[in-house]
Amino acid sequence: MDERSFKGAYYTPLHVVDKAYDKLAETLGNNWQKEYIVWDMCCGVGNLEVKHSNPRNIYMSTLDQADVDVMLATKTCVAATRFQYDYLNDDITDDGNIDYTLTNKMPESLRKAISDGKKILVLINPPYAEATSSENINTSGAADASKVGVAKTKFAATGMKEYGKASNELFTQFVARVAKEIPTATLAMFSKLKYVNSPTMNDFRTVWNANYLGGFVVHSKSFDGLKGDFPIGFLVWGTNQNLISKNVLNEITTEVFDKNVHPIGEKCFYIVPDAQLLTNWIERPKTNKTEVIPLKNTITPATATKDLRGTKWSDNAIAFLWCNSNDVQQAPRTALFSSGFNGGHGIFINPDNIWQAVIVFSVRRLVKPTWLNDRDQFLQPTEPLTDEFKNDCLVWMLFNGSNLTASANGLQWNGKTWSIVNHFIPYTEEEVNAPGRFESDFMVQYMAGKTFSEEAKAVLEKGKLLWQAYFAHTDVHSVREELKLNRPDVGWYQVRKALQARNASGDFAPVSFKPFEEAYKTLTEKLQPMVYELGFLKN
């Protein structure tokens, strides 16, 4: 990302601006262009204002003088007041207050409009950069140097003490200064939605007092230069920082536009208390002093040395459930390991919490992330969970591609040799014709006495055929070495991969996965709608 795009120097496409103007007319009335003084304090080259029919009412300021010069040269909004102004650094005192005499860049008439309490509409599309996010952490895990400066703006450093993590993001820095400077502004803003529903923005929502007036979300792909697939909101808010009574946000409903800016319906975004989030549903067992090998994959020891996690175990633990963050976007970061995971962020599974871990795993993996649901938070169930659902989830998890439980001897890490034991084999040695004893029969004991649905039974039956097929032959040395097939208690990952390698080699009679895949698909399609029906996600 070059410096300009880091600062947010991409433009709002004019056909999206059209929709914003429709929304402003709908929420503020047809006369909004006459009634409100507009200030866009991150106007770039003015795309948000070019359609305004009353430019004498507009103030446009932005970081780069070059952008102001472009507006002057292209005669953009000639009758508006246009000026260079660094909204996050200019006129901010050491104690986080605003003193216009520090730079004297603010036009006198705008200062007066603010102090007279005129109706002011802040119309902005601020930059989206944040100090720490997966997007600006490079592959080695270090923060991208070009973004380290985000939290260091003068306003974030001095004026946002009570805003928590919101001080890490440029767009919430804009909102926070507006709240201080123009406490009763109407705010119409293009931005990501995390200020509305992310748990990391709880502090922000406690301080910021706003009433939702209406808005839409549009696919990020409709903006040039934005990577990823996520909703960009254009939300209109009546703010009032002077009110003592706090407006509590529970949900907001928006119109939805796809990447071609065609309307495709409505979407509700919910704001739920932390206590209702799925991530807080299971008690997290503590680590103990037992050392284990940290894995970066099923049977691959960690190579990272910095910020290494997963080196300690927990009392009675039988696996580690990696489950990072609580939203749908992060749901692909869900997997089961037979030892510690080198990135941490998860829950030890033991005989007491396994029933819940199974559900957390399944719920997170059953729903496919899309651009529109990706910021939705997983919730604790609101409906009673039947045994059938719990047992279906158990079987679904055992045969999911992210069940990375495995066994291995001879893993090398930190100058020592380590073994991992698989506690997640749903069959006895006899059932799958294993040549030797499985070290753990935990799963067989756990499943004993449970009743399984027809769909789950079909998966178990077809899965058993694959396990039997695995034990019918011995793999070539290279495959045994690669998959660490040196113990009988192999895991689903090892069984699958070994059979796939045999099929690819042509040296063995091919083993078809089809019957298994069909049974698994049937179980998947049975469970998917239940994620919503049971309240784990809201539609």
Q: Given the rule CB under 6 A, which residues bind ligand SAM?
A: 7-12, 40-44, 47-48, 62-64, 67, 86-88, 125-127
Give residue 391's identity as a one-letter amino acid code: N
Nearer to ligand SAM, 63 or 490 (CB): 63
The residues near 349 (Cβ < 8 Å, ≥ 6 apart) are 317, 318, 319, 320, 321, 336, 357
Nearer to ligand SAM, 11 or 100 (CB): 11
End-to-end alpha carbon distance in the chain: 35
Nearer to ligand SAM, 215 or 346 (CB): 215
Closest-approach residue to ligand SAM (CB): 44
Angle between helices 387-398 and 354-366 (to 10 degrees): 70
CB of 328 to ligand SAM, least distance (A): 25
Could you tell me if residue 243 is left (phi over 0), alpha (psi between -120 and 50 degrees) or otherwise beta? beta
Nearer to ligand SAM, 3 or 95 (CB): 3
Alpha carbon separation from 294 to 298, 308, 418, 425 (Å, rounded): 10, 8, 10, 21
CB of 13 to ligand SAM, least distance (A): 8
Nearer to ligand SAM, 171 or 470 (CB): 171
Q: Per this entry, what is the length of the chain?
A: 539
CB of 329 to ligand SAM, least distance (A): 21
The residues near 498 (Cβ < 8 Å, ≥ 6 apart) are 470, 475, 479, 483, 485, 490
Q: How far apart are CA 49 and CA 349, in angstroms?
A: 55
Spatial CA neighbour of 332 closest among 412, 401, 270, 263: 401
Nearer to ligand SAM, 92 or 485 (CB): 92
Spatial CA neighbour of 298 closest among 353, 342, 363, 345: 342
Nearer to ligand SAM, 41 or 443 (CB): 41
Tokens of 442: 């935990």
Name the helix (H) or strand (E) containing 109: helix 108-115
Please, are residues 450 and 463 in contact by the beta-carbon 8 Å criterion? no
The residues near 231 (Cβ < 8 Å, ≥ 6 apart) are 192, 193, 217, 218, 219, 220, 256, 267, 371, 372, 374, 375
Nearer to ligand SAM, 128 or 348 (CB): 128
